[in-house]
Amino acid sequence: MPRRLFIAGNWKMNTNAAEAVKLAKAVVEKLGKVQEMDIAVCPPFVYLAQVAAAVAGSRIAVGAQNCFYENNGAFTGEISAAMLKDVGCRYVILGHSERRHVIGEMDELINRKVLKALSDGLDVILAVGELLAERDAGTTLEVVSRQVKRGTEGVGKAEMARVTIAYEPVWAIGTGRTATPQQAQEVHAMIRSLLAALYGNELAQQIRIQYGGSVKASNAKELLACPDIDGALVGGASLKAEEFAGIVAGGMK
Ligand code: PGA
């Protein structure tokens, strides 16, 4: 079976309540009936419930941008996977480069979150990607495979089927500088062969690998045409419904 494309909008720390609902409604209006691929929006925590209500009854799913690995208790400022389920999330993005490099999250912490999110029923988007210095030093494949391996440590086969890997070269995020389809495809193919080594070829062929980093309507088509690119994790361009819809259109056969 061919892999279904999966396009997710990562709104990051943007919008206010009114804007979040307005954007969610505009996404539903343009994309709420799309059958050919999976689509999700990932607003800030505080607007999740309102966005979930705004997309209810459509094919648009909701994801969060992070979560913690404990159920509840004295963890000031943290949000559990169960809480995210409770407000209508299907997905959670973990290991985003801004969490790795701005907040300082390490592979081990990300792995604990991945395990907890999966066991509590959230589907995970595990984001990985090299820094510019790492690419220049020729260590891209090494860095990315370490992030994939450590991030998924202890994840069993059944749960791995609910993981999407998002390859996002850090130098391409929010910079307007996209990886070329060839650069992206090379890393995606490496990730898939790593997944095959870890989980067997059959499962590796089913796991979706999104590309992220300055994806927009004008470059989506050529990226999504690559054999191992199974969707996009979209930041800036997901804040405009029109542009986001243009990316989805780029994935239509
Ligand atoms: P960008 O962000 O599309 O604004 O580059 C992508 C991401 O960080 O997920």
> 6-250 falls under which CATH superfamily?
Aldolase class I (3.20.20.70)
Q: Where are the domains of the chain?
A: 6-250
Q: d(Cα 102, Cα 16) in Å, to the nearest integer?
A: 22
Ligand 1 pocket: which of 99, 173, 209, 233 to mutate (most atoms within 8 A of CB): 173
Give the nearest ligand 1 atom to 234 CA: 3
Q: Is 96 an active-site residue? A: yes
pTM: 0.98
Give the nearest ligand 1 atom to 173 CA: 5
Q: Pick the closest to residue 226 from 191, 199, 201, 177 (CA basis).
A: 191
Q: Is 153 an active-site residue? A: no
**Per-residue confidence of the chain (253 residues) as pLDDT tens digits?**
689 999 999 999 999 999 999 999 999 999 999 999 999 999 999 999 999 999 999 999 999 999 999 999 999 999 999 999 999 999 999 999 999 999 999 999 999 999 999 999 999 999 999 999 999 999 999 999 999 999 999 999 999 999 999 999 999 999 988 899 999 999 999 999 999 999 999 999 999 999 999 999 999 999 999 999 999 999 999 999 999 999 999 999 8
Query: Do residues 140 and 181 touch, judged by C-beta distance below 8 A?
Result: no
Q: d(Cα 54, Cα 56) in Å, to the nearest integer?
A: 6
| 168 CB near ligand 1 (under 6 Å) | yes
Task: Kindly give the pairing relationship between strand 123-128 and strand 91-94.
Answer: parallel
Nearest 5°: CA angle at 78, between 77 and 83?
A: 125
Taking the centre of ligand 1 as the mean of its atom positions, its distance from the CA of residue 129, in whole angstroms, is: 12
Catalytic member of 105, 168, 188, 243: 168
| 10 CB near ligand 1 (under 6 Å) | yes
Q: Could you say which DSSP state residue 46 is in?
A: G
Q: Pick the closest to residue 96 from 71, 128, 130, 59 (CA basis).
A: 128
Taking the centre of ligand 1 as the mean of its atom positions, its distance from the CA of residue 74, in whole angstroms, is: 32
Return the structure tokens found at 135: 């690419």
